[in-house]
Amino acid sequence: MIDLKRKQFFNVFLSITFVLENSKYMSLIVVGTMAFDSIETPFGKSDRIIGGAATYIALSASNFIKPIKQISIIGGDFPQETLDELTARGVDLEGVEIKKDQKSFFWKGKYHLDMNERDTLDTQLNVLGEFNPIVPESYQDAEFVMLGNLVPAVQHSVLKQMKNRPKLVVMDTMNFWMETAMPDLEEVLKHVDVLLVNDSEARQLSAQFSLVKAAKEIMKMGPKYVVIKKGEHGALLFHEDQVFVAPALPLEDIFDPTGAGDTFAGGFIGHIAKTKDISFENMKSAIIIGSAMASFCVEKFGTTRLKEISKEEINDRIHSFVELVNFEIALI
Amino acid sequence: MIDLKRKQFFNVFLSITFVLENSKYMSLIVVGTMAFDSIETPFGKSDRIIGGAATYIALSASNFIKPIKQISIIGGDFPQETLDELTARGVDLEGVEIKKDQKSFFWKGKYHLDMNERDTLDTQLNVLGEFNPIVPESYQDAEFVMLGNLVPAVQHSVLKQMKNRPKLVVMDTMNFWMETAMPDLEEVLKHVDVLLVNDSEARQLSAQFSLVKAAKEIMKMGPKYVVIKKGEHGALLFHEDQVFVAPALPLEDIFDPTGAGDTFAGGFIGHIAKTKDISFENMKSAIIIGSAMASFCVEKFGTTRLKEISKEEINDRIHSFVELVNFEIALI
């Protein structure tokens, strides 16, 4: 018996886009730490290198959009060279407070073979202990806001200073704030459109083990979109009853995962701010872009790899992600 | 500045297939246990229900190919009703030895919230202790062989009895054999084309933590293809330098994961035996089909859900998998 099946097409395609670059209308506010990290992984050690959520986010997002309006706080020890590098990449530092006689935030951590877990060996808040960000007047026209992982009340204070509701507010957070500042976290979540968390954080925040149920609970707290990052297992995007599964690039070695989540966030919001499209379909692309950027970040210690990648490398990597999940299938 | 990007297409499509059903040339041998299971999960308990790798594999594969030539051993306690159900689904039981005065293999296990781990509470080998399978003459024309999880020497003895080298040999195994029968496992692996293992088994077998490195090591042991199953995180397919990442369907609840791996194997080999296409491209489709079948299996206890699904439900589920990973992306 010959069985003729129905033919259907599903396209994963690289489409033509027309982009107005460097437009004043495409601005993005990035809020978060700029800091020093000391990192130990099974592959090596680094002493006091540049880190911080907002540093990684800005480095990643600057591949997609300029200017980036940075809000952070640093000490007099933060290298001018790094500030100059950021400026050269289109990062506006007007909102970065410099406390000349104080030290920048410092974090020391150690990763084991399973890079999804890490031990914090030392945390020195330094300038971060008195961070009361002021949103400069010149930042007020920003349509997109990326709140990097920070004290929830500080994240909220930035939103409260915005005269117009941004088109999209994306937020990252962590388990520490769920344990120490849950009421503040719940308050800021009411004003957030997209929450980025990892799987264990999603479970903790929602008190649900199933990630599908966790995302549904979190969507009741405010965010209309929830992105659950699963490290080497990829990421999930939830919106209403829709789900998208993004792969991670299978890598031989993850040299240093520090900043991978922030780099993901930078690629995600960078793509959305560039395209100005906040649909579910475009968020899927944004997650692939974020995943591609994160896959670079882990190849070398700290921000090293992020500072050297070219547009061609990013396009090749995006292409690899398309290939990774591309399949053909017949109904039975 | 207007930037015109290059346009490229990547298609994930449901293609037209012409299939000769019920052909004698499409036969598949399935080797494995047919057994009783007692299962406890956070969602409930079941006492002595039908289980066994070969039961799940046959139930799953029978949606794609007939006849299935089963090789197993059961006791007099195995219900005739189940044997009749299998026969009605096109499973040839000539190779199933029945020891009337003995009992079937029995396994009792308990799952916790993280369904990737389970505790074995009881194992009664019974008839399995003296399983020396004989490949019936009528099975000799089979082109496809699925070796379900079993003592490696028993898996090997089936292959040694085949007069012609099958077109494709797919094998499942588990950590227990790596600990107790590694030389035998290494021996049979030399004759296997596709190895299906979960992530922790791949790491144990290869002594590599990175799954990319683990797959490379395993490919040196014999298999040309390695499928690494990651439960709720999907599956990876490796072949030479190629990789494919298959998603798992995000589910609210995993009611009972027992047999999900065998059901995956049944869908995988069932699709390949039906299409007779052992290319990397077709194995990608086979993994999606296997994942779709496994997503049904976990919805109810034991084999319940597998016995009731229709062709329409399978097609809808395959469609859901296509939707799950379907995205559009522009180069930067």
Structure tokens at B249: 């369907």
pLDDT in tens, A192-233: 999 999 999 999 999 999 999 999 999 999 999 999 999 999
- The amino acid present at B311, given as its one-letter code, is K
How far apart, in whole angstroms, are the C-alpha atoms of residue B142 and residue B151?
22
How high is the pLDDT of residue B26?
61
How high is the pLDDT of residue B20?
43
| HSE, side-chain direction, 13 A CA sphere, residue A24 | 4
Torsion of CA B279, B282, B284, B286, to 10 degrees: -120
Task: pLDDT band for A9, please (50, 70, 90 cuts).
Answer: very low
| B12/A13 CB distance under 8 A | no
Q: Is the pLDDT confidence value at A137 over 70?
A: yes
Nearest to B236 among A6, A12, A250 (CB): A250
Looking at this predicted complex, what is its ipTM? 0.86
How far apart, in whole angstroms, are the C-alpha atoms of residue B255 and residue A19?
48
What letters, b where the CB count within 10 A reaches 16 and e where it falls short, cover B300-311? bbbbebbeebee
- Which of chain A's residues have a Cβ under 8 Å away from the Cβ of B19? 2-3
- Strand A235-239, strand A225-229: pairing: antiparallel
Residue B12 domain-assigned?
no
Tell which B residues from 90 to 149 touch A, by Cβ distance under 8 Å.
113-114
Q: Which of B252, B325, B326 to mutate to test the interface with A (most CBs of A within 10 A)?
A: B325
Over residues A150-164, the mean pLDDT reads: 97
How high is the pLDDT of residue B11?
39
pLDDT in tens, B92-117: 999 999 999 999 999 999 998 887 77
How far apart, in whole angstroms, are the C-alpha atoms of residue A148 and residue A157?
13
Residue B6 domain-assigned?
no
CB A129 within 8 A of CB A60: no
Handedness of CA A32, A36, A40, A45 (dihedral sign): positive
Q: Is the pLDDT confidence value at A2 over 90?
A: no
How high is the pLDDT of residue B330?
82
pLDDT by residue for chain B (332 residues), tens only, comes to 333 333 333 334 433 334 444 444 569 999 999 999 999 998 889 989 999 999 999 999 999 999 999 999 999 999 999 999 999 999 999 999 999 999 999 999 999 888 777 899 999 999 999 999 999 999 999 999 999 999 999 999 999 999 999 999 999 999 999 999 999 999 999 999 999 999 999 999 999 999 999 999 999 999 999 999 999 999 999 999 999 999 999 999 888 999 999 999 999 999 999 999 999 999 999 999 999 999 999 999 999 999 999 999 999 999 999 999 989 888 88
| B13/A14 CB distance under 8 A | no
Residue A205 domain-assigned?
no
How far apart, in whole angstroms, are the C-alpha atoms of residue B207 and residue B9?
39
Tell which B residues from 240 to 259 touch A, by Cβ distance under 8 Å.
243-248, 250-254
Residue B202 domain-assigned?
yes
Q: Which residue of A has its CA nearest to B330?
A: A14
CB B233 within 8 A of CB B242: no
Residue A4 domain-assigned?
no
Closest CA to A224 of A193, A191, A179, A261: A193
Q: Which residue of A has its CA nearest to B22?
A: A1
How high is the pLDDT of residue A113?
82
How high is the pLDDT of residue A7?
32
pLDDT in tens, B14-35: 333 344 444 445 699 999 999 9
How far apart, in whole angstroms, are the C-alpha atoms of residue A331 and residue A6?
8
B33 to B107, B141, B162: CA distances (angstroms): 11, 22, 20
Task: pLDDT band for A249, please (50, 70, 90 cuts).
Answer: very high
Contact of B16 with chain A, judged by CB distance below 8 Å, is answered with yes
CB B260 within 8 A of CB B297: yes
Q: Which of A14, A329, A331 to mutate to test the interface with B (most CBs of B within 10 A)?
A: A329
SS3 A297: helix
Read off the CATH number of the domain in which A83 is found. Answer: 3.40.1190.20
Q: Which residue of A has its CA nearest to B235?
A: A233
Domain extent, residue A39, equals 24-174+254-317
Contact of A312 with chain B, judged by CB distance below 8 Å, is answered with no
How high is the pLDDT of residue A254?
87
CB A235 within 8 A of CB A226: no
How far apart, in whole angstroms, are the C-alpha atoms of residue B10 and residue A150?
39
Mean pLDDT of chain B: 91
Residue A212 domain-assigned?
no
CB A273 within 8 A of CB A265: no
Residue A55 domain-assigned?
yes
Distance of CA A38 to the CA centre of its chain: 21
Total domains present in chain A? 1
How far does the CA of residue A234 sit from the closest CA of chain B (Å)?
8
Residue B19 domain-assigned?
no
* pTM across the whole model: 0.89
Alpha helices in B168-223 (DSSP H): 175-180, 182-189, 199-206, 211-220
Q: DSSP secondary-structure letter at A273?
A: H
